[in-house]
A = this chain, B = another copy of it.
Amino acid sequence: MRDPFGAFCDFSTAHLEGAAGGPLAGLTFAAKDLFDIAGHVTGGGNPDWLARHRPAVRTATVVERLTEAGASMVGKTHTDELSKGIFGENAHYGTPTNPRAPGRVPGGSSSGSAVAVAGGLVDFALGTDTGGSVRVPASFCGIYGIRPTYGRLPFDGVITQAPSFDTVGWFARDPDLLARVGSVLLSYGKPKSRARLRRLIIAEDAFAVADATAAAALTPAISRLSSIFSQVERRRLSSASLADWLRHQTSLQGREAWATFGDWIDRNNPRFGFEVADNFLRGLTVDDTALASARAFQSARKAELSTLLDGETVVCLPTTPFPAPPAGQPRSVMWRLRVPVITLTCIAGVLGAPQLNLPLAKCDGLPLGCSVLAHPGGDELLLDVARRVVSG
């Protein structure tokens, strides 16, 4: 397969022919190397994981749903190690090339899937999103991407990171295909009639996290989005600071990630990029008090937002606080950049809410995404918003 962007894992030849005549017939897709394909080892972005696991016995349910619907899987794509990373720089396999922002990171951890879609190598691609791993590369690569409602798609046959946050997401270059894939994966029928959407909330506390130039660059996108809603409201999303959202979400995710991988790491002393090892070790330091406090915070935020996020309300926020940063920078630089990125992505994680990246903006000539977020279960609403904001 032609792969000028280094999106695909060269150690895997996994390929699955789509069934004839389904709703996705004739389409091709790629899957992040976190998804099991029967007969192939799932590599997880780490060569020691790859070397020390056996071929999968069965194929992940979501992949099967897609091939049964007619789409053909043409390859596995690179990921940050064990999905721990947000920029797409893998210390073992390198950094897939961002087709729409040369010299910039593609975003991660679903880096290869986003790049394969942005570069036109496949029609759509599967990723996972635990802490932002679909939304961030969608924003940086200028494509559509959705993190669906937590728990809505089956996660079996996918490498778990933090089970309370792990989701399967997907990318496409246009909102119609994003929705077609969604109708297969989410098992819903035709969208409802094009009733006017009720309320759009522009989340001021989230926009305050973005760089000023990025926030300004999103203004035209916000206008387009606003035009399809009958009511537009600017307000804070939460009474709590987003710094607190991030702190507690990081505790929860980090502790779960260590619970997931700690024993394997202990037994195998695997090689990791230093950043990834550091990230894992931070999870190890989360004590029971911090964990209990984080869980209480999460419950409080879900309660707080449940009144705001009714079935007809959509929240608008920047997907990322800036466009893709240059690749190859020191980790201390990337670590500082990481904080505002995951401050924005943690919101949907804490709430279990769906979030969809609209690639509607450019900032300094680079793609920048605007997000819509809805109540848990509101995936179809978001897919509909994406189509309507483009068709006008």
Question: Chain A: residues with CB nearer than 8 A to chain B?
Answer: 48, 89, 91-92, 265-267, 269-275, 277-278, 280-281, 330-332
Cross-chain contact of A272 among B89, B265, B266, B277 (Cβ < 8 A): B277
User: Of all chain B residues, which has the CB nearest A284?
Assistant: B278
The 8 sampled A-B contact pairs (Cβ below 8 Å) are: A91-B270, A265-B274, A266-B330, A266-B331, A269-B275, A270-B274, A274-B277, A277-B278
Give CA–CA (A89, B270) in the complex, Å: 12
Let me know if A271 and B331 touch, CB within 8 A: no
Contact check, B277 vs A269: say whether CB atoms are below 8 A apart.
Answer: no
Q: Could you tell me the distance in whole angstroms from the C-beta of A81 to the nearest C-beta in chain B? A: 10
Q: Which residues of B contact A273 (CB under 8 A)?
A: 269-271
Task: Determine whether the beta carbon of A269 is less than 8 Å from that of B332.
Answer: no
Question: Is the Cβ of A274 less than 8 Å from the Cβ of B274?
Answer: no
Docked-complex contact B269 and A89, CB < 8 angstroms: yes
- Tell me which residues across on chain B come within 8 A of A48, comparing CB atoms: 91
Residue numbers in B under 8 Å from A275 (CB-CB): 269
Among A265, A266, A280, find the residue whose CB has the most chain B CB atoms closer than 10 A: A266
- Tell me whether A271 and B89 are in contact (CB under 8 A): no
Q: Which 5 A-B pairs have the closest CB atoms?
A: A277-B277, A266-B330, A271-B271, A269-B331, A267-B330
Minimum C-beta distance from A327 to chain B (A): 12
Query: Chain B's nearest CB lies how many Å from the CB of A263?
Result: 8
Instruction: Tell me the minimal C-beta distance from A80 to chain B in angstroms.
Output: 12
Complex CA distance for A266 and B278, rounded to whole angstroms: 12
Residues of B within 8 A of A269 (CB): 89, 91, 273-275, 331
CB-nearest residue of chain B to A46: B271
Interchain CB contact under 8 A, B92 and A271? yes
Q: Kindly provide the distance from the CB of A140 to the nearest chain B CB, expressed in whole angstroms.
A: 18
Alpha-carbon separation in the docked complex, A280 to B273 (Å): 13
Point out the residues of chain B lying under 8 angstroms from A89, CB to CB: 269
**Among A89, A92, A277, A281, residue most surrounded by chain B Cβ atoms (within 10 Å):** A277
A242 to chain B, nearest CB (A): 27
Q: Which residues on B sit within 8 Å (CB–CB) of A267?
A: 330-331
Bound-complex Cα distance A215 to B48 (A): 39
User: Could you tell me the distance between the alpha carbons of A329 and B270 in the complex, rounded to whole angstroms?
Assistant: 13
Q: Give the docked Cα–Cα distance between A331 and B281 (Å).
A: 14
- List the B side residues contacting A266 at CB < 8 Å: 330-332
Can you name the residue of chain B whose Cβ is closest to the Cβ of A89? B269
Question: For residue A280, which residues in chain B have a CB less than 8 angstroms away from its CB?
Answer: 274
What separation, in Å, do the CA atoms of A274 and B278 have in the docked complex? 9
Q: CA separation between A275 and B48, bound complex, in Å?
A: 14
- Minimum C-beta distance from A274 to chain B (A): 5
In angstroms, Cα B274 to Cα A92, docked, is 14
A31 to chain B, nearest CB (A): 25
The residues of B that contact A92 with a CB separation of less than 8 Å are: 271
Instruction: Kindly list 12 other residue pairs between chains A and B, CB separation below 8 angstroms, not including A91-B270, A266-B330, A272-B272.
Output: A48-B91, A265-B331, A266-B332, A267-B331, A269-B274, A269-B331, A270-B273, A271-B271, A272-B277, A274-B277, A274-B280, A281-B281
